[in-house]
Amino acid sequence: MTWGRDPQLQKAAIDGKEAPVPCPIGRWNMLGSEPRKHGEPSLRVHSISTALCPAWPATASSVLLLPGLLLLAGCTREVPGTEASAESGRERPDILLISIDTLRADRLGCYGHDDARTPVLDALAAEAVVFEAAYTTAPITLPAHASMLTGLIPPRHGVRDNGAFRLPDSVTTLAETLSRQGYRTAAFIGGLPLLRSGGLARGFERYDDDIAARSLGGSDLARRPERYAEEVFGLAHDWLSAAGPEPVFAFVHLYDPHSPYERALPGAAEPTYDGELAYVDGALGRFRSALGVDPRFRSALTVVTSDHGEGLGDHDERTHCVFVYDSTLRVPLLIHWPGVLGPRRLAGPVGLVDLVPTLLDLAGLPPVDGLDGVSLGEQVRRGTPVPGRDLYFESLFGELRFGWAPLRGLRRGTAKYIRAPRPELYDLGGDPGERLNRWSATTDDGADLEERLREVGEGGAARIALDEDTARALRSLGYVSAPPAEGGDSHDLPDPKDQIRVYEEFQRAHEEALAGRFDEALAVMAQLEPSLQRSPYFYLEWGNFDAHAERWPLAITCYEKCLALDESTADALLNLGVAFVKSGSPDKARARLEELLALDPDHVEGRLYYGVVLYRSFRDPEGARPHFTRFLELAPDHASAPEIRRILAGMPP
């Protein structure tokens, strides 16, 4: 069986849909009907993010934000003296880790959803160890995946949002540890938040993140940088089928359940979250069947989990990123190993940070010191109680993007504490929906958890870990990084509980823009300004909406307001330069692009567009030459590189 050769057509055949036409990520031709000479590059404004929770720096997103993880460990290599080897006679396992983004636990039949359409996952759970109370560290793709793949909480690994953060080189990943133990390693990425620029590629011999945007509908803006599950599974299947005798570790990331939803349930017309889950479940079943043809993978160790859940309207949050309630923090965690582990359900709370030490334990490998997670090996082998401890979680999304208070908290047994301007304390045993706030500064639980939180969750403002290589990689994809909002003492900042309707309206403006309804989108943004006037990210996105609607004076105003709040916002400087060109002010455009290059001399699009302005607006080919040359040195594979080479070839020596 051959997978992954024509995934879009393959997926269309499965869904009965027309195959979408691939589109370049994140930029749109801003010339309108203006004629363009052959060989001259168009000026384009950096993209509107198509997912607010940084999936793209949205961008982010997705934000760095792990849905369902599936681990398959089959053909094993001998590890003398390990308990797994002694009990099962098996060798060291191959490990396949599949992450299904945005997989909320209670939408699966195995977690109690009566109308679930996930028979593959539910059948797997019936023969698995099921952790009934597993939790992520953050409801955002990149930070959650960083915790899953390092065993560390966000204050220790440093990744606090999608897009503008990168896992530091000093932090060891699971792939690095397994590679040093003789594993062959590969990753297959389905969504933009996990591009290699986020730092998770270290330790993987192959990190396949070749993601091209595809059309979502009639609007030129409706483009979604992801790959369907069928394509990602196909790439993984081809690699696994060609594996040599060494043990392998493959990480597979699926992004389909992330909003906007594109698939309906069978017999329905409207795309829904459950429709996406049903599609992924079916794709997983086909993948497992195809992989099972190889005897090497028939006795697979399978782990299923997720980076975060989805709000689905709970606490007025439709998607994720803002709040830290269990609708977005609780994730599925299933561990399935036929012949080694018997089915059982474990009730004690565990975290995604436990995945790394648990996998190393099950593989018979030495533990890594200094992790926040603990091995659950004894629990899955013998059903011993999960040890009680505090589990940390956070969301700095509102703080970093809108200037709202950060949310941090701890879970201890059934007690859950959320630090906020109006603190929250819940007894999850009797109140799983988190509706009855029991907080009082005098209660023992609340005071103890706040004291402990000072020890594990402090550290001041979130540390932006984005380096210049990462920034250039994101910009080259039209990926908008959110500039930080104006801050202050967290007790004086707005409580996200009071801002969720503002955020939902902000999301609605994005949806209107993506559908090409700019009048509606811009009307919503105007109404939101009093609530978001401290956020440079808000003005950057508002300016992008105006630019796509070709309302250049309004776009200029928004970009200038963004820069007044954060003068180092590179995307605002770049887009402002484009807007001035479109408004017939090339002198102002040149000045803003010069500011950008003074800030970052190797800004890829800055070099490109400054050269274009000199070449087209000022008829100065010699002035443009060094900028075009440097652009090609920085980004030889950029979409505009062929045009620039033609221009340079036509210049006199």
Phi, psi dihedrals of residue 299, rounded to the nearest 5°: -100, 65
- pLDDT surpasses 70 at 41: no
Only one residue has tokens 């776009």, namely 555
Phi, psi dihedrals of residue 511, rounded to the nearest 5°: -65, -40
* Contact indicator for 487, 403 with CB cutoff of 8 Å: yes
- pLDDT surpasses 80 at 458: no
Q: How confident is the model at residue 176 (pLDDT cuts 50, 70, 90)?
A: very high
Residues forming beta bridges with residue 331, ordered by sequence position = 134
The per-residue pLDDT for 45 is 55
DSSP H or E stretch at residue 580: helix 570-582
- pLDDT surpasses 50 at 188: yes
DSSP structural state of residue 490: G
The per-residue pLDDT for 497 is 97
Name the token pair of 253. Answer: 């990331």
The per-residue pLDDT for 486 is 56
Radius of gyration of the chain (CA): 25
User: pLDDT tens digits, residue range 597-631?
Assistant: 999 999 999 999 999 999 999 999 999 999 999 99
Cα separation, 573 vs 593, in Å, equals 7
The per-residue pLDDT for 222 is 53
- pLDDT surpasses 90 at 479: no
- pLDDT surpasses 60 at 89: no
Q: Supply the mean pLDDT for the chain.
A: 82
The per-residue pLDDT for 567 is 86
Cα separation, 462 vs 467, in Å, equals 15
The per-residue pLDDT for 490 is 62
Pick from 164, 153, 163: nearest CA to 408 = 153
The per-residue pLDDT for 111 is 96
Cα separation, 252 vs 37, in Å, equals 44
- Span 212-219, average pLDDT: 54
User: pLDDT tens digits, residue range 3-40?
Assistant: 333 333 223 322 333 323 222 222 222 222 233 333 44
DSSP H or E stretch at residue 157: helix 154-157
| 3-class SS of residue 251 | strand
Within 10 angstroms of residue 315's Cβ, the number of other Cβ atoms is: 16
In the CATH scheme, what architecture does the domain 499-650 have? Alpha Horseshoe (1.25)
- pLDDT surpasses 90 at 355: yes
The per-residue pLDDT for 137 is 98
User: pLDDT tens digits, residue range 256-273?
Assistant: 999 889 999 999 999 999
Amino acid code (one letter) for 25: I
Residues forming beta bridges with residue 98, ordered by sequence position = 70, 252
- Span 217-239, average pLDDT: 79
The per-residue pLDDT for 489 is 57
Does domain 68-213+224-367 fall under CATH 3.40.640.10? My reply is no
Cα separation, 224 vs 41, in Å, equals 24
The per-residue pLDDT for 637 is 84
Q: How confident is the model at residue 225 (pLDDT cuts 50, 70, 90)?
A: confident
The per-residue pLDDT for 224 is 63
The percentage of residues in the chain with a pLDDT greater than 70, rounded to a whole number, is 79
Phi, psi dihedrals of residue 218, rounded to the nearest 5°: -75, -25
- pLDDT surpasses 60 at 469: no
Cβ-in-10-Å burial (0-12, 13-18, 19+) of 264 comes to middle
* Contact indicator for 99, 251 with CB cutoff of 8 Å: yes
User: pLDDT tens digits, residue range 380-432?
Assistant: 999 998 888 999 999 999 999 999 999 999 999 999 999 999 999 999 999 99
User: pLDDT tens digits, residue range 527-585?
Assistant: 999 999 999 999 999 999 999 999 999 999 999 999 999 887 888 999 999 999 999 99
* Contact indicator for 40, 54 with CB cutoff of 8 Å: no
DSSP H or E stretch at residue 510: helix 500-514
| 3-class SS of residue 379 | helix
- Peptide bond just before 70 cis, omega within 30 deg: no
What's CA 100's distance to the chain center, in Å?
11
The per-residue pLDDT for 487 is 53
Phi, psi dihedrals of residue 425, rounded to the nearest 5°: -140, 125
Cα separation, 157 vs 150, in Å, equals 8
- pLDDT surpasses 90 at 516: no
Q: Where are the domains of the chain?
A: 68-213+224-367, 407-456, 499-650
User: pLDDT tens digits, residue range 57-82?
Assistant: 333 222 222 233 333 334 444 433 33
- pLDDT surpasses 70 at 478: no
User: pLDDT tens digits, residue range 108-147?
Assistant: 999 999 999 999 999 999 999 999 999 999 999 999 999 9
Q: How confident is the model at residue 484 (pLDDT cuts 50, 70, 90)?
A: low
The 8 Å CB, 24+ separation contacts for 260-267 are 260/50, 260/51, 260/216, 260/224, 260/511, 260/514, 262/216, 263/15, 265/117
